[in-house]
Structure 1
Amino acid sequence: MRIGLITPEPGHPLLADTTALLEPEHTVVALDPVSAGASAGNTLRSLPLADVYLLKSRTPEALDLARHLEERGAPVVNSAAATALVQDRTAMAERALRAGLPFAATRTVGPLAAWAAVRELAGPVVVKSRRSRRGDLVARADDTAALRALARDRPEEPVVVQEYAPNNGWDHKLWAIDGQVFAALRRSELSPEGRGPTRPLPLDGLPAGWEDLVREVGAVFGLDVYGVDLIDTGAGTPLIVDVNAFPGIRGQAGAPRALAELALRRGGGAGAG
């Protein structure tokens, strides 16, 4: 079987470990979204398709390349449409809330400076770039002065705003690959101390129902490989604050094998060695 990796970083630990499991019985090829996308209408059209592609990039070039491959009939994990959906935090929140998921209430306010100039905060809020991407804005503003300081740094950034939900300062980082769930704890980047190290979290340490909730997120968004950020507000039900397509899932035993098995299943092949 031939497996394609849509990524500028084929040496990423998750991809490298997955490739090692797939080779030498299968062929794994990497497509850089920028260089491959530039030739999508010419060189790529004349090349044989891989049996399946893993979309480990969320850049516009990567999404364009994934759409091109899908139009030619290739399966792509995750699909370009599902990946694009969770990049738009407005669309993400709307889809989640319509589906009844416990997602943080999210307001879309447009360019940050224009909104901050007329807004007086009565309590802390979380300000996020509307478009999820590497280096995007995710910050807590406790008062109007802090909000306007954020606006000075990124005045034209289109943002969404979520009310800050009091919690213990730790994010539950949960990931899923084809229904298999992995978990860790990480001190929140919104805590006063800033983001801290990631701690392993055994699944039997999760509250009842959380694994099922993570799988439900995948069904709602049409994702096979994804991350869900949950916070425990002490109210009994966790609060979903973000969903990510094809995150790194670093340091999770079993994740490369789960990804290799998913690639072979979606490509129609046998199990990984």
Structure 2
Amino acid sequence: MHRHLKLGVLAEARYLEQSQPAGLIKELEARGHAITIIDPQQNFYLMGNDDWFKGQDLLIGRGRSWGLLALLNWAEAAGKTTINRQGAISAVHNKAQMSIALASSGLPIPQTYLGAIEQLAGSIAREAYPIILKPIFGDNSRGLLVVNSPEEMRGIDWPEPVALAQRYFRTDGYDLKLYGIGSDIWAVRKPSPFNKIADGAESKEGLTDLTPELQDLGRRCGSLFGLELFGVDCIETEHGVLIIEINDYPNYTNVPDASSHLADFVERRATEVAQS
């Protein structure tokens, strides 16, 4: 039996109506824990005044706005435990930093380039197309653009000085998502935002078999970035499973009893903090 906890949930307004953190909040409250919701955009804070997180056993962050990251950093500087840590969220928010870390660690990713559009157009081999362009600080698939040729690349008016360019693989219409809660991993297939599912095809959406290889891949990604709650976007290709992106604290779509698993993890972490 866990003692009743005082927990702060830092969440941007756009996330509060989503399945997470709403499901976790509901589950924690059902277990008798006191939850304080902290929206960085709905309050102001005096530097040096820690009253906004005093008395909290730990803080849970859902979002990646600059305000939310600043508050996580503030709490951590005062010795508070946070899930996820500010540095871990920032490392996957910056897609270039994330891709560099994945490539340097030998984890499987598509060919990925970084540069100004004119340099990418003149340097990427024609046979590497199609290419998908990504903003450095993209979020929820916003700003993604599939480019089919060097000529098309040259005509793009990209809004940023540089772009992340990744070889694009057509699939059967589904992406593979690995969800992580601590060391526990689930594998889920979900419709791709770019690859059309064949008309009349039987749905492959939902929980799928977690092989030892996928479990290891998910755990390595979480460990690499120091993430405790995370998702790994993958595609299945003739070259094997390739990692497209890592996300902090996702919605855990199609993970059975996700909110209960999340609440269990939060309780365990709070117990570890109390005993440390």
TM-score normalised by the chain length of structure 1: 0.84
Which whole-Å CA distance do the structure 1 matches of 2:204 and 2:37 have between them? 29
Identity of aligned residues (%): 23
The 2-side partners of 1:20 and 1:75 are apart by 21
1:105 aligns with 2:111: yes
Q: 1:48 to 1:252 in 2, by over 3 A?
A: same
Cα distance in 2, alignment partners of residues 130 and 138 from structure 1: 10
The corresponding residue for 1:247 is: 250
2:178 aligns with 174
Give the Cα–Cα distance (whole angstroms) in 1 for the partners of residues 24 and 196 of structure 2: 36
Q: Please state if 1:221 is matched with 2:225.
A: yes
- The structural deviation recorded for 1:80 is 0.3
Paired residue secondary structure (1:232)? strand
Residues 92-171 of structure 1 aligned to structure 2 (within 5 Å): 92-110=98-116, 112=117, 114-115=118-119, 118=122, 122=126, 123-134=129-140, 136-148=142-154, 151-152=156-157, 154-156=158-160, 158-171=162-175
Deviates more, 1:85-94 or 1:8-17: 8-17
TM-score, length basis structure 2: 0.83
Runs of 4+ off more than 3 Å:
42-47, 114-121, 165-169
* 1:172-223 Cα shifts (integer Å, max 9, x gaps): 01211112223322232232569xx982123x2x454112211111111110
Q: SS of the counterpart of 1:23?
A: helix
Distance, in Å, in 2 between the alignment partners of 1:200 and 1:165 is 21
**Residues 74-100 of structure 1: per-residue CA shift (max 9 Å, x gap):** 111110001000111221112112222
Partner Cα distance (1:50, 1:191) in 2: 44
> SS of 1:85's equivalent?
helix
Using a 3 Å threshold, how does the CA distance of structure 1 residues 40 and 73 change in structure 2: closer, same or farther?
Answer: farther
Mapped partners of 1:254, 1:207: distance in 2: 20
Aligned to 1:23: 29
Counterpart contact for 2:12–2:68, Cα < 8 Å: no
- SS of the equivalent of 1:160 reads strand
Q: Distance in 1 between matches of 2:47 and 2:204?
A: 42
Greater relative contact order: 1 or 2 (C-alpha under 8 angstroms, separation 6 or more)? 1
Amino acid at match of 2:62: K
Q: 1:168 touches 1:233 (CA, 8 Å); kept in 2?
A: no
Deviation, 1:233, is 0.9
Q: Secondary structure at the residue paired with 1:228?
A: strand
Structure 1 unmatched runs, 5+: none
Q: How many residues align?
A: 260
Structural mapping, 1:65-76, within 5 Å: 65-76=71-82
CA distance in 2, matches of 1:169, 1:232: 11
Structure 2: segments with no counterpart, 5+ residues: none
